[in-house]
Amino acid sequence: MQGYLGETPIDISDTAYSEYTPKDWALFYIKKYGGIDGAHHKDWVLDQVVRLLTGAVPKFSLRKWANGQEELTFDESEMTTPEYEAFVLEYEDRDENGEVQYEYNTGIAP
């Protein structure tokens, strides 16, 4: 878009999402992305919900344009917590040699 001035990271406390609980975040993601077709996208939504329920929070940025337009965006690409990592390890099925028989699927973002 013409006149794009860039993107600045902002703290969650400076957003309308500052009071969101993990449950609020999970419901938000289900509502926003849950209806998108494709099993790989549904896997992504489930993974995001697990991340959110284990304490991860998206990073926020504010995009600005010369005409005064602003857009709040959030990036979940680095959302992780030790609790999430432990969940994934526990979820995976390993055989007696420690080889993964069933791997946790993070899906594909829509």
Tell me which of 42 and 93 has the higher pLDDT.
Answer: 42
15 in a structural domain: yes
| Residue 97, CB-side half-sphere exposure with 13 Å CA sphere | 3
Instruction: Specify the pTM.
Output: 0.81
32 in a structural domain: yes
107 in a structural domain: no
Please give the residue range of the domain that contains residue 76: 4-102
* Alpha helices (H) along 11-63: 22-33, 39-53
d(CA 21, CA 64): 28
108 in a structural domain: no
**For 104-109, what is the mean pLDDT?**
89
33 in a structural domain: yes
61 in a structural domain: yes
Least confident of 9-13, 14-18, 53-57, 90-94: 90-94
**For 27-56, what is the mean pLDDT?**
94
d(CA 48, CA 96): 30
**Exposure class string for 48-62: b at 16+ Cβ within 10 A, else e:** bbbbbbbebbbebee
pLDDT band at 1 (very low <50, low <70, confident <90, very high): low
Q: What pLDDT sits at residue 97?
A: 85
Average pLDDT over the chain, rounded to an integer: 90
110 in a structural domain: no
45 in a structural domain: yes
d(CA 41, CA 34): 8
pLDDT at 32 over 90: yes
Q: What pLDDT sits at residue 91?
A: 83
The total of structural domains in the chain comes to 1
Q: What pLDDT sits at residue 14?
A: 83
